[in-house]
C-alpha cells in the first residue's frame, strides 16, 4: 500500500505562533494520516490529507460500544535540529496488542510507522523548538460499522493526528500530590486494564474529579480484588525507591505496559540498581514513607516523562515522601531520558529513530 499525499498549498497552511505558551492537546496541525478497513478487503485508502472532521453513521459501533484503541508518543526537536522519535516501534507493537484484545484488525507496524514519520515530516514546521516542548502524536483506531448488535465491527478507520505541546514542567520539576482511592477501581483481572482503550479513561473520570476537588493532581489505583496492592496512577506507571530497591508493580494484566516504564527499568538496572517488578501493598508504601525507608516515588509516562510524587493521601491521612522534594534518582532519570530524546546525550540503547 502507498500513502497518497493530498496536501494543502503552502498559503493555506497554519503556523505555530506563540510557541512558549502551548496548551496540551488543543492545537492540531494541518494534516492527518487516514486509512480505512473493510472485512474481507483489508486496510486501504492510506493518505495524508488535510485535518478535518470525521463523518460517521449515528449507529457506528464506536459510539455505542466503545470499540476503540489509541496510542500516544512524541516527536522531539533535537539540539542538532533533527527530529527524533523515542522507541516508536514499541508504540506500534502495543497498538497491535491492543487491537487483538479488542477484536480489531491489526495494522502493518512497519507501514504505519513509515506513514507516521512521513506525516511528521510533512508537518515538520509544527514541531516546537523550545526546550521541553514536543509534537504529540495520537494514533487511533475505531469500529465504524453501522450496526447496533454487540459484535466486532466489520469496518474500521485508523488515523494519526498531531498536536504541538509545551513543556510539562513550566514551574520547575516539582513533586505532585496523589490521592489513593479505595472507593473506585480502574481495572479487574481478565479485563482491559492493560489496553489503551477509551473506556478505561471514561471509567476513571469520577475518581480523578473527586481527587481534584480535594486538590490532588491524580489518583493512585489499588487492585480491584483486595484494594490493597498498588497498580498505577492516572496515565502513568508508578515506581517506589525503597532503601536499596527500585520497585514497580508487575504487569499482571491490569496495568498499562508503559514504554517509559520499560525504559526506566532498563536504565536503572544498567546503573546497578536492584529493580523489582512485584506486588507492592499500600501498607508497605505508607509505613516506608513514615519510617523513611521510602526514599522516592515517581510516575512515568510519555507526557511528563518522570513525575515525582511528594505526598500520598490515604484514608484521610497525608503521607510525605522525601520532605516533598524531588529526589536525585527521579532527577537523574528525567535528565537521562530527556537527554536521549532531545539528542543532548548519547543513545546507547538505539531508542531513537529520526524523521525523515
Residue ranges in contact with ligand PLP by CB under 6 A: 72, 196, 232, 235-237, 256, 258-261, 300-302
Q: Which is nearer to ligand PLP, 48 or 73 (CB)?
A: 73
Q: In the complex, what is the shortest distance from the CB of residue 190 to ligand PLP, in angstroms, rounded to a whole number? A: 17
Q: Which is nearer to ligand PLP, 48 or 85 (CB)?
A: 85
Q: Which is nearer to ligand PLP, 37 or 239 (CB)?
A: 239
Q: In the complex, what is the shortest distance from the CB of residue 278 to ligand PLP, in angstroms, rounded to a whole number? A: 18
Q: Which is nearer to ligand PLP, 119 or 255 (CB)?
A: 255
Distances (CA, A) of 204 to 157, 167, 186: 25, 25, 6
Q: In the complex, what is the shortest distance from the CB of residue 38 to ligand PLP, in angstroms, rounded to a whole number? A: 29
Q: Which is nearer to ligand PLP, 254 or 322 (CB)?
A: 254
Q: In the complex, what is the shortest distance from the CB of residue 294 to ligand PLP, in angstroms, rounded to a whole number? A: 21
CA distance 262 to 221: 20
Distances (CA, A) of 121 to 68, 83, 115, 124, 160: 27, 9, 10, 5, 13
Closest by CA position to 94, among listed 257, 233, 304: 257
Q: In the complex, what is the shortest distance from the CB of residue 232 to ligand PLP, in angstroms, rounded to a whole number? A: 5
Q: In the complex, what is the shortest distance from the CB of residue 7 to ligand PLP, in angstroms, rounded to a whole number? A: 30
Angle at 8 between CA 11 and CA 145, to 5 degrees: 150
Q: Which is nearer to ligand PLP, 70 or 173 (CB)?
A: 70
Q: In the complex, what is the shortest distance from the CB of residue 341 to ligand PLP, in angstroms, rounded to a whole number? A: 12
Instruction: Match 518522570 to its residue by C-alpha cell.
Output: 306
- Mark 189-207 as b/e (b = at least 16 C-beta within 10 Å): eebbbbbbbbebeeebeeb
> What are the residues facing 141 on neighbouring strands?
69, 158
Q: Which is nearer to ligand PLP, 235 or 288 (CB)?
A: 235
> What are the residues facing 221 on neighbouring strands?
181
Q: In the complex, what is the shortest distance from the CB of residue 220 to ligand PLP, in angstroms, rounded to a whole number? A: 12
Is the peptide bond prior to 356 cis by the omega test (within 30 degrees of 0)?
yes
Q: What are phi and psi of 23, to 5 degrees?
A: -80, 170
Which runs of consecutive H residues, i.e. helices, occur in the chain? 61-65, 88-101, 109-122, 198-213, 259-270, 282-291, 328-342
Q: In the complex, what is the shortest distance from the CB of residue 236 to ligand PLP, in angstroms, rounded to a whole number? A: 5
Closest by CA position to 63, among listed 151, 145, 138: 145
Q: Which is nearer to ligand PLP, 14 or 199 (CB)?
A: 199
Q: Which is nearer to ligand PLP, 144 or 200 (CB)?
A: 200
- Whether 120 and 353 have beta carbons less than 8 Å apart is answered as no
Q: In the complex, what is the shortest distance from the CB of residue 64 to ligand PLP, in angstroms, rounded to a whole number? A: 23
Q: Which three cell numbers stand for residue 259?
A: 514504554
CA distance 159 to 139: 6
Q: Which is nearer to ligand PLP, 60 or 187 (CB)?
A: 187
CA distance 214 to 282: 20
Instruction: Match 523548538 to its residue by C-alpha cell.
Output: 129
Q: Which three cell numbers stand for residue 69?
A: 484503541
- Whether 106 and 99 have beta carbons less than 8 Å apart is answered as yes
Amino acid at each position: 500500500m502507498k500513502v497518497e499525499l493530498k496536501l494543502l498549498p503552502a498559503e493555506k497552511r497554519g503556523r505555530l505562533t506563540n510557541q512558549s505558551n502551548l496548551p496540551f492537546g488543543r492545537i492540531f496541525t494541518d494534516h492527518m494520516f487516514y486509512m480505512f478497513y473493510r472485512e474481507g478487503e483489508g486496510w486501504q485508502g492510506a493518505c495524508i490529507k488535510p485535518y478535518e472532521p470525521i463523518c460517521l453513521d449515528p449507529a457506528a459501533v464506536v459510539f455505542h460500544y466503545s470499540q476503540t484503541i489509541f496510542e500516544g508518543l512524541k516527536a522531539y526537536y533535537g539540539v542538532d535540529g533533527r527530529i527524533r522519535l523515542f522507541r516508536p516501534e514499541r508504540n506500534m507493537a502495543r497498538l497491535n496488542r491492543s487491537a487483538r484484545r479488542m477484536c480489531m484488525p491489526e495494522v502493518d507496524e512497519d507501514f504505519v510507522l513509515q506513514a507516521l514519520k512521513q506525516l511528521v515530516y510533512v508537518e515538520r514546521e509544527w514541531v516546537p523548538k523550545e526546550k521541553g516542548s514536543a509534537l504529540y502524536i495520537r494514533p487511533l483506531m475505531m469500529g465504524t460499522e453501522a450496526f447496533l448488535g454487540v459484535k466486532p465491527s466489520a469496518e474500521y478507520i485508523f488515523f494519526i493526528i498531531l498536536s504541538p505541546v509545551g513543556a510539562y514542567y513550566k514551574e520547575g520539576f516539582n513533586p505532585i500530590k496523589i490521592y489513593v482511592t479505595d472507593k473506585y477501581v480502574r481495572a479487574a483481572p481478565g479485563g482491559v486494564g492493560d489496553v489503551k482503550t477509551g473506556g478505561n479513561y471514561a471509567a476513571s473520570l469520577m475518581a480523578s474529579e473527586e481527587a481534584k476537588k480535594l486538590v490532588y493532581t491524580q489518583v493512585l489505583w489499588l487492585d480491584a480484588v483486595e484494594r490493597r496492592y498498588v497498580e498505577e496512577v492516572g496515565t502513568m506507571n508508578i515506581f517506589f525507591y525503597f532503601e536499596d530497591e527500585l520497585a514497580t508493580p508487575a504487569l499482571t494484566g491490569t496495568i498499562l505496559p508503559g514504554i517509559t516504564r520499560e525504559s526506566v527499568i532498563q536504565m536503572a538496572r544498567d546503573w546497578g540498581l536492584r529493580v523489582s517488578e512485584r506486588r507492592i501493598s499500600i501498607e508497605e508504601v505508607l509505613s516506608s514513607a513514615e519510617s523513611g525507608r521510602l526514599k522516592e516515588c515517581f510516575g512515568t509516562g510519555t507526557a511528563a516523562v518522570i513525575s515525582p510524587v511528594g505526598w500520598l493521601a490515604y484514608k484521610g491521612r497525608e503521607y510525605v515522601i522525601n520532605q516533598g522534594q524531588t529526589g536525585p534518582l527521579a532527577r537523574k532519570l528525567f535528565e537521562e531520558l530527556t537527554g536521549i530524546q532531545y539528542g543532548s546525550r548519547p543513545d546507547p540503547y538505539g531508542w531513537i529513530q529520526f524523521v525523515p
